[in-house]
Amino acid sequence: MAKSSVLGYPRIGAEREWKKALEAFWAGRLEESELHAKLREIRLNHLRKQQEKGIDLIPVNEFSYYDHMLDTAVMFGIIPQRFAYEGGIVPLSIYYDIARGTKDATASEMTKWFNTNYHYIVPELYGITPTITENKPLLAYREAKEQLGIEGKPVIVGPLTFLKLSKGYELAETDAWLDRLLPLYVRILQELENEGARWVQIDEPILVTSIDINDLRRLKKIYETFAVSVPNLSIMLQTYFEAVEHYEEIVRLPVKGIGLDFVHGLTGNLASLRTAGFPADKVLGAGLIDGRGIWRASPRDKLTLLEELEKYVLPDNLIVQSSCSLLHVPVTVKHETRLPERLKEALAFADEKLDELVLLTKAVSSPGQAEAIAEDIEQCEHALLALKLSDERNRSDVQRAVAAIDTQHPRRTSAFAERHKLQSEQWQLPLFPTTTIGSFPQTAEVRKARQLWRKGEWSQERYAAYVREQIDTWIKIQEEIGLDVLVHGEFERTDMVEFFGEKLAGFAFTQHGWVQSYGSRCVKPPIIYGDVAFVEAMTVEETRYAQSKTKRPVKGMLTGPITIMNWSFVREDIPREQIAYQLAYALRQEVEALERVGIGMIQVDEPAVREGLPLKEEAQAEYLEWAVKAFRLTTCTVRDTTQIHTHMCYCEFQDMIGSIRDMDADVISIETSRSHGELIQSFEETTYELGIGLGVYDIHSPRVPQVEEMTAMIERALRVLDPRLFWINPDCGLKTRGTEETIASLRNMVEAAIISREKFSIKAE
C-alpha cells in the first residue's frame, strides 16, 4: 500500500510568526528562552497539522532557526574563526552572527539554493576540524515522538551536497574533507538508529547537476559506508529540482529508497525509468506534487502518471510525495479573501498540497474509494479549466504584440563605445562615480503611512504628499553625503516586484502568500495568472519630482522582466519565454515614458536573471539567450544619450559574464562584498568593456563598513577593470537598513571613492 510524505514544510507560519519571533529576539524584545519556546510552539503546530491531514511520513529537522545549510555547518562545528567559537554547543549568538555579521566580523556568504529564490549561508571550511556539537536530527525525532506520537522522518543535508556547496577548500582536498565528515554523519545516523528511527531522508540535490566520475565514486563510498554502519535504518536518498544525472549508478546505491522529482524532472526521470527500470528491492519516492508552484495539480494527469509508475514499482514500494520541500510556497490559501474566486479555486499552497498528496495516495492505494474521491477530482478539473478559458488568459492584443516582437533582434542604435562618449559629455561625472542601487530605508513610519493609505484612512493626495516629503529629505541627504548620481528612494514601493505587478494587467496578489527568501526576509510573490499588459505610467511621477529637486542626475528605477518573472508565481499554460516577452513589452513602455519626461538615466534591475538558469547545462544557453533578449527588448528603444543601468546580486555570475555583456547595459552593478571579492577573479580572466560597479559593502549586515575595507576592494577591482568605466556603489538596495547606519555607510563609501580618485590620479601621473 502506497504512503504519503512531504520533504519539508514552510518555517514561517501562516501569519509569519517565525519571522516576527526572530526579529523580536534580534531587537532585544524577546529573551532567548522565549524565542526557543515560541519556535518550539510553531514547529509542533506544523507537525500536528501534517499529522491531522493524514501524511504518513512526516519530516522532522527541516525546521530551522535561520537556514538548513547553516544548521548543518553548526552541527559539525564548522564555524569561521572570526566568530571566536570555543567549542561545544554553538551559542545562538554565534549562530546568528555567522548569518548576519557583527561590527567586527563580516557575515558568511549567502547565495541561492540551486535555481530557487531561497538563499542559504555558505559553509566556510578553511582548515577547521569538524566535530559533532549536537545531534539535531535526533533531538527533532525525539520531540516529535514524545510530544505528538509522530514517528518522524529526520531530514539531513547529504555529505556530497554539503561539500559541493561549501567553500574554503581546494578541489584536491575534497576526499580528505569527505573522510573528516563521513564518520560524523555515521555517528548521527547510528544514534538515530539506536533511538528507533525507521526512515531518514538524506537530501542530495547536487545529483541533478553535472557531477563527474569522482563524485560518483565519493557517492558510492558514502552510501556503502552508511549501509554497513546503519543496516537497520531505511535511508531515502532524496533528489529534487530536476532529473538525476547518472540514474543507473544512483539507483544501484545500497539505500532503501530513491526520491525523484516527477514535476521539474519529469521528462528525464521518466525516460530513465522507461529505459532502465527501477530496482525491485527499493522504494520510489515519487515527487508528484509541485513543491515550488502554487497551482492545483490535475488529479487526472497525476493518476495517469501513477499508472505509468506502477509499471516499474509495486504499490507497497511507492511513496507519493512533494517534488521538493514546501519551503518554497505560502502556507495556505484558506485565508485569501480578496482573490478572484476563479483564480483562488485553481491554487494550492502548502496545506492544500498536503490534501492533494493524501488524495492521490488514497486513489492509488484503495481503488475501491474511486467513487468517494470522484467529486474532489471533478471539482479540481473544473477549476483548472475555468481559469484556462478565462478572458485574462486570452488577450489577443497582447498575444499579437508579443508574437511580433518575438521575431525581432533588439539592439541599441549605437555601440557602447559611441554611447559612452556621448553620455560622458552629457553628464560630466567624476572618475569612479558614486551612486546607490535604488531604495532607502523603509522605516516604521514609512510602512505605517503606506498602511494607512491602503486602509483608506489616508487619501491618495495625503499619501503622495508624504512620499514627496521623504523624497525631499533623501535628496538633501544624498547631496550632503556627496553622491554623484541620486535616486528617489522608492518610498512608495512595498516590494520591487509587487509594486510593478500591482500596476500591470495579468497579476493578482495574495494577502498572506509569504515565502522565505533568506533568514527572516520574507517576500509575497505576485501571481502572474493572465496575459501581462501595460496600463499606465508607474514610476514617472515620483522620479520626475525627485529630478526637479536637484541638479544632479536622478536614476529612474524599474525591475526587469526576468526578475519580475522569476520572483513571481507564474502561469504554467504558456512557456516562460513568452511571459518574459510580455513583461518586456510592458516595461519598454515605462522606459519610454521616463525618457519622455527628461529622465536620462534609467536602471532596469535584473538581480534574478541567474536564479532562473536551468540546472541542466544543455538548457542554459537557450534560457540565457531569451533572458538577454527580454532585457534588450525593454531597453533598446532609448536614445544614445540615455544611460541604461542594471543591477544583479547574490548569485554566482562567473559563468555568465558573456551573457551579462550581451545585455548591453551602459552600467551594471554586481554584488561582490559578501563573497569577499571572488567575482573579481572573473574579470582577472576576461575583459569587460562596459560600465561596471562592483558593490563595495554588504547591505544585508547591520555593520557599518570601514573606509579601508572599501578602498581595498576598489583597488583590487581597478587592477583588472578600466577606471574610466568603474562605478562605486553598495551591493544592493538599502530598504532594510536603518537610517543612521545607511548614512554612515554611504559617507564612508564616498570617502573611499575620493581616496581612490586621489590614489589613481597619483598613479596615472
- Which residue has 542594471 as its cell numbers? 646
Residue 319 forms part of a structural domain: no
Higher pLDDT, 697 or 585: 585
The answer to which of 74-88, 216-230, 731-745 has the lowest mean pLDDT is 731-745
Q: To which residue does cell 539507483 refer?
A: 251
Which residues are documented as binding site for L-homocysteine? 437-439, 490, 605
User: Is 340 within a domain?
Assistant: no
**Residues in the annotated binding site for 5-methyltetrahydropteroyltri-L-glutamate:** 16-19, 112, 521-522, 567, 611
62 closest CA partner among 52, 53, 54, 72: 72
Chain mean pLDDT for the chain = 94
Strand pairing category for 667-670 and 691-694: parallel
Percent of the chain with pLDDT over 70: 96
The predicted model gives 394-419 an average pLDDT of 92
H or E stretch including 726? strand 726-727
Residues 6+ apart with CB under 8 A from 96: 26, 65, 66
Residue 163 clears pLDDT 50, i.e. is over it = yes
By the 8 A CB rule, do 64 and 157 touch? no
Question: Which pLDDT value is given to residue 307?
Answer: 94
Concatenating the DSSP letter of every residue in 144-157 gives HHHHH----EEEEE
Does residue 565 belong to any structural domain of this protein?
yes
Give me the domain span that covers residue 705.
420-443+482-494+540-764
Cα separation values, 16 from 19, 451, 515, Å? 5, 17, 9
- Give burial (CB, 10 Å; 0-12/13-18/19+) of 741: middle
Mean pLDDT (whole number) for 332-338: 95
Query: Per the domain annotation, does 405 fall within a domain?
Result: no
So which residues are the catalytic ones?
700
Annotated binding site for L-methionine: 437-439, 490, 605
- Note whether 347 and 296 are within 8 A (CB): yes
Exposure class string for 603-637: b at 16+ Cβ within 10 A, else e: bbbbbbbbbbbbbbeeebeebbebbbbbbbbbbbb
C-alpha cell at 56: 504518513
- List, as residue ranges, the binding site: 16-19, 112, 437-439, 490, 521-522, 567, 605, 611, 647, 649, 671, 732
Q: Is residue 503 part of a domain?
A: no
Backbone angles phi and psi of 287, in degrees to 5: -80, 90
Burial of 5 (0-12, 13-18, 19+ CB in 10 A): buried
Across 219-233, 432-446, 702-716, the highest mean pLDDT is recorded for 219-233
Q: Tens digits of per-residue pLDDT, 238-290? A: 999 999 999 999 999 999 999 999 999 999 999 999 999 999 999 999 999 99
- Residue pLDDT, tens place only, 15-69: 999 999 999 999 999 999 999 999 999 999 999 999 999 999 999 999 999 999 9
Domain count, the chain: 1
Residue 640 has pLDDT above 90, yes or no: yes
Distance of CA 463 to the CA centre of its chain: 32
**Residue recorded with cell 518586456:** 584
What is the pLDDT, as a whole number, of residue 632?
Answer: 97
Read off the pLDDT band of 764 (50, 70, 90): very low
435: CATH: 3.20.20.210
Residue numbering of the annotated binding site for Zn(2+): 647, 649, 671, 732
Residue 708 lies inside a defined structural domain of this protein: yes
The verdict on residue 634 lying in a domain is yes
